[in-house]
Amino acid sequence: MRFHPAKKQRAANNNTLRDAQKRQKAPLIVVKSLLFIASRRKTRDFRAKCARKHLAEHNRVNSNVYYSNKNTEYHKKNKFGMRRTAMLVQELNERSHDFAGRNNKQEKKRENPETQRMKNSGNEPEQEQQKIKNEEAREERIKETGQVLLEEGGEGAHIHLISIIGEIEGHENLSGNTKTTKYEHILPKLAEIEDSREVDGVLVMINTVGGDVSCGLALAEMIASLSKPTVSLVIGDSHSIGVPLAVATDYSFIVPTGTMMIHPVRMSGTVIGAVQTYDYFEMIQDRILNFVSGHSQIAYDQLRRLMLNTEMLTKDLGTVLVGSDAVKEGLICEVGGIREALQKLNRMVLERKEI
């Protein structure tokens, strides 16, 4: 049995049309099912992705059939199916965005007040955050080294405060129960101050019982060699090697109840009883006497008499000067406290800037 070529072509077109209709129905059913499931479950994004994949495959197949069957009745049906598919995709996208928006609102509601406060703190101005960091660094520096930069006095001068407290530690570490001033911390800081353009002056606050002669003299020489204005304040005691430290500055103050003790050099441990040992002690004392007399108003001979005085101390040689007595002897410039010391230092800084 033979078929006419035209009939044979129509039969082939009908078979292609039936196959295309079957392929068209399957993706639409899948899309509707996924839309229903996605509206019920939180896994909407994953299911939406699968739905878009099926729709893309469906559009690709339908477009091929559409262009190969322009002269058939399927052209109208397929065009309507593609338009319906596009509407489903648009609806799927809108529901996905609504679902994501609801999730974001719920997450914001679940955030506790502490989390919101931390987020808001991150929006503070940079100046406020920098101010907090500077305050923390300042407190840490005071705690560790007893040093602080005074820059809010209203005079426009930046004053660096260095405290010499307790016993001046030498080349060996003292016990943990003793308050000490470590010269390996002070010496680099003094060098930094001399090189800094931000620091205008130095205030040295002293309350020490003395300590290592070599390290104490090194600190005194370092302070005396600074080019910037320096002022010392004996706030409590300035004994032994603390005397050179008090007079090493450009101007010195002592509180009314402050004391200064001048005595000969002592040495702990085993000492060889020979003439050379006493000559060595005499040389060390001369170093101290020359430095103190060279940086104060007291004469070398008068200072030596105070050092070898036998009438004041019961177990040792020396002299104790209280407050105004130190001023009368010429060791200290003036009796005063922190107010007078800062005022004097600010005036010295302004005079230096005017030159």
The catalytic site residues sit at: 240, 263
Looking at residue 355, what DSSP letter applies?
-
Task: Describe the crossing of helices 44-68 and 74-110 by its angle, rounded to 10 degrees.
Answer: 170
Distance in angstroms (rounded) separating the CA atoms of residues 242 and 180: 13
Answer whether 236's CB lies under 8 Å from 207's CB: yes
Query: Largest Cα–Cα distance in the chain?
Result: 152
Answer whether 47's CB lies under 8 Å from 92's CB: no
What's the sign of the alpha-carbon dihedral 273, 279, 282, 283? negative
The first and second tokens of residue 37, run together, are 């499931």
Distance in angstroms (rounded) separating the CA atoms of residues 161 and 144: 14
List helix spans (H) across the chain.
Answer: 5-40, 44-68, 74-110, 113-121, 126-145, 183-195, 213-224, 242-247, 275-294, 300-307, 324-329, 338-354
Q: DSSP letters of 230-278?
A: EEEEEEEEEETTHHHHHHSSSEEEE-TT-EEEE------S----SHHHH
Task: Describe the crossing of helices 275-294 and 213-224 by its angle, rounded to 10 degrees.
Answer: 20
Q: How many residues does the chain have?
A: 355
The first and second tokens of residue 304, run together, are 């030596």
Q: Pick from 226, 223, 176, 222: which is nearest to 204 by CA?
A: 223
User: Which residues share a beta bridge with 182?
Assistant: 169
Which residue carries 């039936």 as its tokens?
18
